[in-house]
């Protein structure tokens, strides 16, 4: 029998509106940071990276498409191995845990222009790498350059 925590987790994960609300919060946060970006650039060049802004927009897009996929019937949770009957017996499914925006849009059967595909590719890269000030490797495969933290 599933624990109450697992039942609550599953119920919340299945709410497309919850995913949409979370996406909106990321958009609001990105807009606030973006609006203060130029002032920060003048005051402290160290804080001029746009990666936190792109990360928030990428997370917004990710949560929106995940909410749509759930509304279309994708099951957001699955049993966790070795946890049957214990709290934590459920976890997010791989379809929902992914950060690949282009793949999720394709799964949702949404048509994209080449420009939109390019934007999704860049936002996916931002979500995967912007958690760290130096990226995840010395070379950005999207721009063919080294990610910069804003020090120079």
Q: Select from 55, 64, 69 the least CA-distant residue to 125.
A: 55
For the chain (152 residues), the mean pLDDT of every run of 10, in chain order, is: 83 96 96 81 68 92 97 94 71 93 96 94 89 64 53 40
Cut 0.85: pTM above it: no
- Three-class secondary structure of residue 77 per DSSP: strand
* Contact predicate 36/138, CB 8 Å: no
Q: Which residues pair with 90 in a beta bridge?
A: 79
Domains in the chain: boundaries: 4-129
């Amino acid at each position: 029998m599933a624990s109450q925590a697992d039942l609550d987790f599953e119920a919340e994960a299945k709410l497309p509106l919850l995913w949409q609300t979370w996406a909106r919060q990321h958009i609001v946060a990105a807009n606030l940071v973006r609006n203060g970006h130029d002032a920060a650039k003048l005051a402290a060049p160290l804080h001029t990276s746009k990666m936190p802004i792109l990360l928030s927009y990428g997370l917004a897009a990710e949560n929106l498409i995940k909410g749509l996929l759930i509304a279309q019937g994708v099951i957001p949770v699955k049993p966790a191995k070795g946890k049957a009957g214990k709290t934590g017996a459920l976890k997010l499914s791989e379809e929902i845990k992914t950060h690949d925006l282009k793949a999720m849009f394709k799964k949702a059967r949404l048509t994209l222009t080449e420009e939109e595909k390019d934007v999704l590719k860049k936002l996916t890269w931002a979500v995967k790498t912007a958690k760290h000030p130096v990226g995840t490797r010395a070379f950005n495969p999207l721009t063919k350059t080294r990610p910069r933290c804003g020090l120079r």
